[in-house]
Structure 1
Amino acid sequence: MKELLAILEEQPFFEDMDERHRRLLAACAAERSYAAGAILMRDHEPTETFWLIREGQVALEGRLREGNVPFMTLGPGDILGWSWLLPPYRASYDARATTDLHTLRFDAGVLRERMEADPALGYTLMKHFAVLIVQRLQAARLQALDIYSHGGPGHGT
């Protein structure tokens, strides 16, 4: 557990959290590796996990008629998965390892129980994940604006 706690202390996402909250998170984490091409989440499927990416990259993909289309890439230091936090606890996109991937995998079901028992933990995690969600939405909005400002879909170019 000391190793996992040390990893969390190095990461900006966790650095301003109370020490006891980081310890609790470390207790809910395990190191996990995935081969390139592995699917970590599928759109609309239940989510009981989130990940801290330590090495490698993950593509977030949306489904179109033509197949899955990547809309964002995550890398070292990024958090993958926030759907575990909000009902109905289902993924909003597919997530696929584009390289070999080394992560910390968190048991979100256990964390939800602990958040109910410890409102301070719940508030802290909600604040951190709210910032993450807003950042992802802003990135998606900027990407959409970029696509459409350059004569993207529906512009006949």
Structure 2
Amino acid sequence: MTSATTMTTALRTEHRDRLMRLAREVSFDAGSHLFEEGRRADRFWIVRTGTVALDLYVPGRRPAVIESLGHGELVGWSWHFPPYLWQLGAEAMSPVRAWEFDAEAVRAMCAEDAEFGRAIAVWVGRVVAQRLHASRVRLLDLYAPYGSRGLT
């Protein structure tokens, strides 16, 4: 996790407060799937407590865990980009408490207020970039002959 990808550091107070008005408290038992790759992405979460593993489907193998997310981190970015389908899967590795957000409602708020929309887009974009890097490193570790040694 980088500080630029947590909601509390990525969003100004007024944008964070506005987003939090849509938050709903939820919990997941360990082993629960929050979403599966390829399914409709209609919500997202901010982890309050616990750990969520992001995984990637690998034919003929167990899903490859790409990254583990914890307190303050965004779970799910696919809700922000058409066609709104999950690009990864997510599973609670421990009991998880989170804030859940309805994607359609957040996208509507972004459309109504360009400044708020840009702040959300920059935050989600940073998360996507960080997850892409983590995915690359993890897949090299799993499948490349020499792993990810030397990558930064």
Q: Name the TM-score, length of structure 2 as normaliser.
A: 0.84
Q: Compare 64-73 and 104-113 and name the one that shifted more.
A: 64-73
Identity of aligned residues (%): 30
Where in structure 2 are there 5+ consecutive unaligned residues?
none
Does 2:128 correspond to 1:133?
Answer: yes
Indicate which of 77, 81, 90 corresponds to 1:86. Answer: 81
| Higher RCO (CA 8 Å, separation ≥ 6 residues) | 2
Matches within 5 A, 1:70-149: 70-147=65-142, 148-149=144-145
What's the CA shift for 1:77? Answer: 2.1
**Cα distance in structure 1, aligned partners of 2:94 and 2:83:** 30
Contact 2:30–2:96 (CA under 8 A) maintained in structure 1: yes
Larger radius of gyration: 1
What's the CA shift for 1:85? Answer: 0.4
User: Residue 17 and residue 77 in structure 1: after superposition, are their counterparts in 2 closer, same or farther (change >3 A)?
Assistant: closer
CA RMSD, aligned part only?
2.0
SS in structure 1 opposite 2:63?
strand
SS in structure 2 opposite 1:139?
helix
SS in structure 2 opposite 1:89?
coil
What's the CA shift for 1:151? Answer: 6.6
Where in structure 1 are there 5+ consecutive unaligned residues?
1-10, 153-157
Paired residue total: 142
Does 2:28 correspond to 1:34?
Answer: yes
Does 2:48 correspond to 1:54?
Answer: yes
**Cα distance in structure 2, aligned partners of 1:110 and 1:56:** 26
Q: Which amino acid in the other structure matches residue 54 of structure 1?
A: R
What's the CA shift for 1:69? Answer: 2.8
**Cα distance in structure 2, aligned partners of 1:111 and 1:151:** 39
**Cα distance in structure 1, aligned partners of 2:10 and 2:88:** 29
SS in structure 1 opposite 2:39?
coil
Kindly provide the CA deviation profile for residues 36-94 of structure 1, in whole angstroms up to 9, marking residues without a partner as x: 11110111111111111111111111222234232221122221100000000110111
